[in-house]
Amino acid sequence: MSFLEYAPAPESTAILHLRDEYGLFIDGAWTEGRGATFPTISPATEKRIATISSADATDVDRAVAAARRAYEKTWSRMPGGDRGKYLFRIARLLQERAREFAVAESLDNGKPIKESRDVDIPLVAAWFFYYAGWADKLDYAGLGAAPRALGVAAQVIPWNFPLLMLAWKIAPALAAGNTVVLKPAETTPLTALLFAEVVQQADLPPGVVNILTGAGDTGQALVEHPGVDKVAFTGSTAVGRQIARAVAGTGKKVTLELGGKAANIVFDDAPIDEAVEGIVDGIFFNQGHVCCAGSRLLVQENVHDEVVERLKTRMATLRLGDPLDKNTDIGAINSAEQLERIRALSAAGEEEGAERWSAPCVIPDTGFWFAPTIFDNVSTSSRIAREEIFGPVLSILTFRTPGEAIAKANNTPYGLSAGIWSDKGAKILAVADRLRAGVVWANAFNRFDPASPFGGYKESGYGREGGRHGLGAYLTTGPSKGGA
Ligand code: NAP
Ligand code: MG
């Protein structure tokens, strides 16, 4: 205990008025799912928060039918300006209920309240505001003459940014005139269910947004449903592959946002303290449960020792613990399964000879936790240099020349994001140009903006979300397919 220890500063949960049990949200109403119920827990305490329904194939059928009716009868016929008004209303309601959503997200997911409060929820509102503005301007988006909606979108999202991934999916789909059926991840359904309340508050026509909770089989039934025109998936490369196979030849439009193994490249002319902040932000933000995390640090050999030393000093100040404490930097790992995966890959790193160092921190007795960890002297062939760990674990490699940095950065089956730290603008641009990554940050990391497209190359998936490009994924200029 140091002299200047922080006092606990827990955010109150009094603002939350959760139900004990949640059903499915279909056609504007709550209904019980026909599958077995399951609990959603707080990964910090392992305590049950609420009991959740799961949707079986009949429920999926009802939800897709409701979305189809809403698409044909109301949503696709409504002038874009009116759809925009609904989206603006949703955005404002989310802002009004921001604190409640932040608390629910941290409780269900385990992420620090300062992140859900200052990053997730503000970005969620920003995404709805941004796409609300596009709803009446689709003809001017440069996506072809008279673009039209696709129809019913099946959307499946992961647990790492539950409400933000919902916003990335639902906002552009609705702006473009599609209706949606969305399945949140099994471990983090809570904010999607609260979002269904916002949909009711906003008085959206029934069936425009349907929320189906459940596990992987619910997701599978949804994406494989013949009544669906568009599939949007964010999650692992393994499941993405399965989905790509399942929809091949069906005529469904698909976007896949999958995993990553981003290089964060630090040149010797970079401002070291800023770079260290960027490294910390790159890999320890959201416990490293970030598809675009800077999980491979490529540091120029002559500054390696200095960077690693300052990084360790900085990591020793990170506070791990109660996600609802306003001083917490590192929250809980989202599930026991994910913790097991992080442990197994870290053990493999040690076996392969990398040097492991973890920040000294007290691990709470209950819940799922992993101390921020770095592996030094990692070889390019090591599993921890190639596989996505999806946790607070950084692999450190070195390079001598920009060419070597680029070759190592691109030496991965993924291609989602990258970071470059240098004092020289020309060098940054030259290197960025040769990186096979959908997003490249310069002297920054993990920055998101609704106007900026996001997505990957290679095994990181295809299609873009965000910006004008994200709109394109929900529109067509081809011949209309019956109905509206
Ligand atoms: P996951 O296992 O692929 O799950 C993602 C979603 O798909 C969950 O809702 C899951 O349900 C559902 N699902 C599972 N099997 C399915 C199937 N056969 N058909 C349809 N849906 C199915 O991934 P995760 O472990 O939750 O998330 C971590 C991964 O997501 C990481 O690899 C990460 O890189 C990636 N990710 C990518 C981005 C991006 O934008 N590129 C963003 C965030 C995360 P359950 O919840 O029941 O498993
Ligand atoms: Mg949970």
Question: Tens digit of pLDDT for each residue in 325-347?
Answer: 999 999 999 999 999 999 999 99
pLDDT (mean) for 411-421: 96
Residues 224 and 304 in one domain: no
Residue whose C-alpha is closest to residue 117's, from 133, 94, 92, 86: 94
* Residue owning tokens 């990181």: 460
| Confidence (pLDDT) at 481 | 54
pLDDT at 483 exceeding the cut of 50: no
Residues 100 and 154 in one domain: yes
- What residues contact 223, with CB distance under 8 A and at least 6 apart? 154, 156, 231, 233, 243, 246, 247
Give yes or no for a contact between 307 and 272, defined as CB atoms under 8 angstroms apart.
yes
CA distance 443 to 143: 32
Residues 270 and 235 in one domain: no
Residues 246 and 270 in one domain: no
Residue at 6 is within a domain: no
pLDDT at 5 exceeding the cut of 90: no
1-40: buried (b, 16+ CB within 10 Å) or exposed (e) per residue?
A: eeeeeeeeeebeeeeeebeeebbbbbbbebeebebeebeb
The separation between the first and the last C-alpha atoms of the chain, rounded to the nearest angstrom, is 66
Beta strands in 274-347 (DSSP E): 296-300
Residues 201 and 182 in one domain: yes
pLDDT at 308 exceeding the cut of 50: yes
pLDDT (mean) for 160-178: 98
Confidence label for 478 from pLDDT (cuts 50, 70 and 90): confident
* Residue owning tokens 């473009």: 176
pLDDT at 480 exceeding the cut of 80: no
- Using one digit for the tens of pLDDT, what is the confidence trace for 116-145? 999 999 999 999 999 999 999 999 999 988
Name the CA radius of gyration of the chain, rounded. 22
* CB hemisphere CA count around 140 (13 angstroms): 6
Residue at 352 is within a domain: yes
The token pair that represents 428 in the structure block:
């940054």
The token pair that represents 132 in the structure block:
């609300």
Residue whose C-alpha is closest to residue 263's, from 396, 458, 434: 396
Residues 244 and 269 in one domain: no
Examine the residue annotation and report whether 388 is marked as an active-site residue of this protein.
Answer: no
Q: What mean pLDDT value characterizes the chain?
A: 96
Taking the alpha carbons of 64, 69, 75, 77 in that order, is the dihedral positive or negative? positive
| Confidence (pLDDT) at 6 | 82
- What residues contact 451, with CB distance under 8 A and at least 6 apart? 130, 466, 467
Beta strands in 277-403 (DSSP E): 296-300, 355-358, 373-376, 393-399
Total number of domains constituting the chain: 2
pLDDT (mean) for 161-171: 98
Confidence label for 2 from pLDDT (cuts 50, 70 and 90): low
CB of residue 215 inside a 6 A radius of ligand 1: yes
Percent residues over pLDDT 90 in the chain: 96
Residue at 357 is within a domain: yes
| Confidence (pLDDT) at 145 | 86
Residue at 8 is within a domain: no
- Residue 40 parent element (H or E): strand 38-41
Pick the ligand that lies closest to the CA of residue 43. 2
**Of the listed 11, 100, 105, 291, which one is catalytic?**
291
CB of residue 371 inside a 6 A radius of ligand 1: no
Residue at 482 is within a domain: no
CA of 108 to the centre of ligand 2 (A): 4
- Using one digit for the tens of pLDDT, what is the confidence trace for 424-466? 999 999 999 999 999 999 999 999 999 999 999 999 998 999 9
Residue at 16 is within a domain: no
* Burial category of 386 from C-beta neighbours within 10 Å (exposed 0-12, middle 13-18, buried 19 and up): middle
Residue at 91 is within a domain: yes
Residues 267 and 253 in one domain: no
Residues 91 and 162 in one domain: yes
Backbone angles phi, psi at 235, to 5 degrees: 170, -150
- CATH number (domain holding residue 329): 3.40.309.10
CA distance 400 to 125: 43
CA distance 339 to 318: 19
| Confidence (pLDDT) at 56 | 98
- CATH number (domain holding residue 230): 3.40.605.10
DSSP state, residue 140: G
Residue 371 is which amino acid? Answer: A
| Confidence (pLDDT) at 3 | 62
476 DSSP β-pair partners: 148
Residues 38 and 154 in one domain: yes
Atom of ligand 1 nearest to the CA of 238: 3
CA distance 321 to 44: 8
Give yes or no for a contact between 354 and 395, defined as CB atoms under 8 angstroms apart.
yes
CB of residue 216 inside a 6 A radius of ligand 1: yes
Examine the residue annotation and report whether 292 is marked as an active-site residue of this protein.
Answer: no
Pick the ligand that lies closest to the CA of residue 108. 2
| Confidence (pLDDT) at 482 | 46
Domain range for residue 315?
263-447
| Confidence (pLDDT) at 484 | 39
Pick the ligand that lies closest to the CA of residue 323. 2
Residue 297 is which amino acid? Answer: L
Give CA 329 to chain center in angstroms. Answer: 18
Q: Are strands 24-26 and 29-31 parallel, antiparallel or unpaired?
A: antiparallel
pLDDT (mean) for 199-211: 98
The token pair that represents 294 in the structure block:
């800077």
Angle at 396 (CA atoms; ends 285, 419), nearest 5 degrees: 55
Residues 288 and 386 in one domain: yes
CA of 28 to the centre of ligand 1 (A): 26
Residues 211 and 322 in one domain: no
Percent residues over pLDDT 70 in the chain: 98
Residues 217 and 277 in one domain: no
Distances (CA, A) of 291 to 202, 288, 392, 406, 453: 31, 8, 12, 20, 15
Residue at 453 is within a domain: no
